Amino acid sequence: MFKKTFLVLLAVSVVFLFSSGVMAETYVVGTSAGFPPFEYIEDGEIVGFDIDLMEAIAEAQGFEIEWTDISFDSLIPGLNAGTIDIVAAGMTITDERAQVVDFTDPYFSANQALLVREDSGMNVTVLFGDHNLAVQTGTTGDLWVEENLQDPGILTGRVTHFDTFVLAVQDLIAERVEGVVLDTPVARRYAADNPVEMVAELVTGEEYGLAVASGNTELLEKLNAGLQEVKDSSVMDELLEKHF
């Protein structure tokens, strides 16, 4: 009898939890944690601006999130395969990507930059002739180097592709390449923490957006509404202040 009453109570409370929305939806958010200050590993944990931004949006919209850290070029395939629901990875909104995924409204502006070793005497001329560069695979920096330097034959040296910018910058410090092309805010952060410096800004006028699978309008609307709430409140300014 006691057991029966307990089971009935349990069933009722489960129904109540679902109907009252207490059991919030959980979305898997994909990122690539080698992109400080947007997403990086600190004391074994993924932290950064995008992490806090997503948490704030989730709180505003009443859903839960779970993080997954994979290589940058696996994020869009992950959305398409359904293993990831949202990408939060300082991802630039491009026409090419917008054909296969849907982007939210923009939340950050950036350009490309050139990093060289501090005190190497190197400058923007590293982008011309027989010099070796490193990039992160599938990024707008990777594409920029290919389209503007390699294809027209301006750069004739080697371009090494890495899964993360952490490895690309390590290669630069280890003197295996002479420059790394990456987003300006991230170049600045690497320069602040490593013996490298930013010697050129390449004006590409990029804007970052969160991404969902193409056609997932319900989730896109939640993200845009949450993003707007964050922008309208003091939270956005607090996050910018905290991370930049």
Residues that bind ligand GLN (CB under 6 A): 32, 35, 72, 89-92, 136, 139-140, 183, 206
Q: What is the nearest approach in angstroms of ligand GLN to the Cβ of residue 125? A: 24
Residue 78 vs 90, nearer CB to ligand GLN: 90
Rounded CA-CA distance 227/224 in Å is: 5
Residue 60 vs 172, nearer CB to ligand GLN: 172
Rounded CA-CA distance 229/99 in Å is: 27
Q: What is the nearest approach in angstroms of ligand GLN to the Cβ of residue 183? A: 5
Rounded CA-CA distance 223/21 in Å is: 18
Residue 61 vs 92, nearer CB to ligand GLN: 92
Task: Please count the residues of the chain.
Answer: 244
Rounded CA-CA distance 104/189 in Å is: 25
Q: What is the nearest approach in angstroms of ligand GLN to the Cβ of residue 30? A: 11
Say if CB 67 and CB 46 are below 8 A apart.
Answer: yes
Q: What is the nearest approach in angstroms of ligand GLN to the Cβ of residue 5? A: 54
Rounded CA-CA distance 21/195 in Å is: 50
Give the CB-side neighbour count of residue 230, counting CA atoms within 13 A.
26
Residue 111 vs 132, nearer CB to ligand GLN: 111
Q: What is the nearest approach in angstroms of ligand GLN to the Cβ of residue 124? A: 20
Residue 92 vs 216, nearer CB to ligand GLN: 92
